[in-house]
Amino acid sequence: MKKALLFVVLAMMLSITTAAFAADSYTIAFIAMDSMDQHWLKVKAGAEEATAELVAEGHDVKFVFDAPSTKVDAVVQASLVENQITNKADAIMVAPMDAEALVPAIEAVYDAGIPTILIDTLANTKKFQVIYQTDNGAAARTAAQELGKLLDGKGKIAIINAQAGSQTTMTRENEFRDELGTAFPDIEIVGVQYSDGDKQKALNYAEDFMISYPDLAGFYACNEGSTVGTGNAVDQAGKAGEVIVVGFDFSEEVKDLVDREVIQATMVQNPWTMGYEGIKAAWKLINGEKIADEEAFVVDTGVTVATKENLAEIK
């Protein structure tokens, strides 16, 4: 009888322990703009490293990465965010591809009481706890200064941007325009095209600009795909060094183009840090800790200007 009672007690204790462990299992999801750009893969890598550290500390934490199959489908991205609410993710990180279209989904996360972290790009809402991003305005103004100096303050340029609805890339374009117009009034912007961050589209648009404007002096490209495509177009046209390129973001392809002096400068963000700090913030919020006294807190993760001279120092 005593043995039977002991087995019952042990079974109950095991059941309680198992339930406790199950309750301590957490999922942190990240919904990116796409899964192709090196930028987002670096964010993912940083998030995976932070998750691995939490697991090593004995926490049962799972990281989930998802993104639309194309760079232009904000409806699909919103649906992926909503799926994570349904899946009962404990925290959700979002890089909204459209500042307006993603608002309902982001606010649904926040209103559900799920810690809400934005990565890289703002949306038109204050319903989130923290965003980790580059100061895109400052970086764009720096890009304008770099290109203006490289062109000695004169000439025609074109802009190859990514998504027309993205708060991040529109800030990069608009702040660049304002700075260039103020500091270098003799530089004319002949046009802008939106490549959706697609390298081939960017290449095609850059080629069209060079054909339409044989005296084109330079390009400003606003993200990794646009930068690679623009650089390749200049390279294939045999105009490296003749048509100046200042870009945004960093990858092995960008690095190669800078090294070969096809691209003269590029604004390098810290996407790995965005992902790493995003997970750390999510974990704090899950455990009831504050990131800051106010909501919608902005953390600048910094930017570096990469050129051939300092290329070896850029990671």
Burial of 4 (0-12, 13-18, 19+ CB in 10 A): exposed
Worst-scoring range by mean pLDDT, 8-12, 38-42, 61-65?
Answer: 8-12
Query: Residue 9: what pLDDT?
Result: 43
Both structure tokens of 107: 């606010």
Spatial distance between the Cα atoms of 223 and 118, rounded to a whole number of angstroms: 18
The answer to whether residue 12 scores a pLDDT higher than 70 is no
Burial of 126 (0-12, 13-18, 19+ CB in 10 A): exposed
Query: Residue 167: what pLDDT?
Result: 87
In the chain, the number of structural domains is 2
The reply to whether 86 and 232 lie within a common domain is no
The reply to whether 59 and 105 lie within a common domain is yes
* pLDDT bucket at 17, cuts 50 / 70 / 90: very low
Query: Residue 111: what pLDDT?
Result: 98
Q: Is residue 203 part of a domain?
A: yes
Residue 88 gets the label, from left (phi > 0), alpha (psi -120 to 50) or beta, of left
Worst-scoring range by mean pLDDT, 1-10, 92-101, 140-149, 193-202?
Answer: 1-10
**Domain range spanning residue 191?**
136-268
Which of 268, 291, 310 is a domain's end point?
268
- Average of per-residue pLDDT across 228-245: 98
201-215 residue pLDDT tens:
999 999 999 999 999
Query: Residue 53: what pLDDT?
Result: 98
Q: Is residue 43 part of a domain?
A: yes
Worst-scoring range by mean pLDDT, 62-76, 140-154, 266-280?
Answer: 62-76
Q: Is residue 76 part of a domain?
A: yes
Query: Residue 22: what pLDDT?
Result: 42
Q: Is residue 151 part of a domain?
A: yes
Both structure tokens of 34: 């796409």
The reply to whether 52 and 199 lie within a common domain is no
Q: Is residue 12 part of a domain?
A: no
Q: Are 193 and 148 in contact (CB under 8 A)?
A: no
The answer to whether residue 10 scores a pLDDT higher than 70 is no
The reply to whether 114 and 199 lie within a common domain is no
The reply to whether 120 and 211 lie within a common domain is no
The reply to whether 156 and 254 lie within a common domain is yes
Query: Residue 19: what pLDDT?
Result: 40
The reply to whether 143 and 130 lie within a common domain is no
The answer to whether residue 5 scores a pLDDT higher than 50 is no
The answer to whether residue 2 scores a pLDDT higher than 50 is no
Q: Is residue 194 part of a domain?
A: yes
Question: Rounded to two decimals, what is the model's pTM?
Answer: 0.78
Q: Which amino acid type is present at position 294? A: E
The reply to whether 57 and 121 lie within a common domain is yes
The reply to whether 126 and 177 lie within a common domain is no
Bridge partner residues of 130 (DSSP) = 117, 297
Query: Residue 295: what pLDDT?
Result: 93
102-130 residue pLDDT tens:
999 999 999 999 999 999 999 999 999 99
294-307 residue pLDDT tens:
999 999 999 999 99
Q: Is residue 14 part of a domain?
A: no
Q: Is 192 helix (H, G, I), strand (E, B) or coil?
A: strand
The reply to whether 104 and 170 lie within a common domain is no
Query: Residue 42: what pLDDT?
Result: 94
* Measured CA distances, 92 to 75, 219, 272 (Å): 17, 36, 17
The reply to whether 105 and 181 lie within a common domain is no
More confident residue, 19 or 113: 113
Tell me what the pLDDT averaged over the chain comes to: 92
Helix (H) or strand (E) holding 227: helix 224-236
- Average of per-residue pLDDT across 215-233: 97
Q: Is residue 10 part of a domain?
A: no
- The CATH number for 294's domain is 3.40.50.2300
The reply to whether 237 and 288 lie within a common domain is no
Which of 268, 284, 310 is a domain's end point?
268
